[in-house]
Structure 1
Amino acid sequence: MEKIDKYLYLLYKGDNSSEVLELKEELREHLILSANEFIEQGYTEEEAYDKAIEKFDGGKDMLNELHKTLKTTKHKNIRLCFKSMLIL
């Protein structure tokens, strides 16, 4: 999980607002779940973390858009906002 934590540290590392910290925690949970799915498929732990990040990293545009939304609206329910973005 250290790899996931390092990845999340780099996301918006200059922004320690409560919204971004909460978003990072949501992302962490999502990445861990994704990695566990890869482990169940037979990947090693290291490979699973890499695959989860790689799969998720394709959504950087979505993350940037979500971050902008949080900055401008100070959205109180990040979990709902994040989950709705994942569904898209």
Structure 2
Amino acid sequence: MSALRAELKQWIETAREGQDVVITERGIPVARLTGIDSADLLARLERDGLLSPASAAREAAEPVGTEPGRQGVSGLVRRLRR
């Protein structure tokens, strides 16, 4: 933790470059710092059926996760936490 505090900018750059940074406290892993590429994230969520593009002609709002194979918001949250 102390190294993370002292060199946070460097660790963020490391994560941005695609490497995972595991943060430990007294030798026990407590968190992971991972870079995010938001454009790729949105494309991946659309491809996996967890997100659909906005549509002006969309009918009345349907409950999330009503289509077969969709897990709804809870599935999206689980996916994002990985």
Report the TM-score when normalising by structure 1: 0.27
Q: Which has the higher strand share?
A: 2
Q: Which has the higher helix share?
A: 1
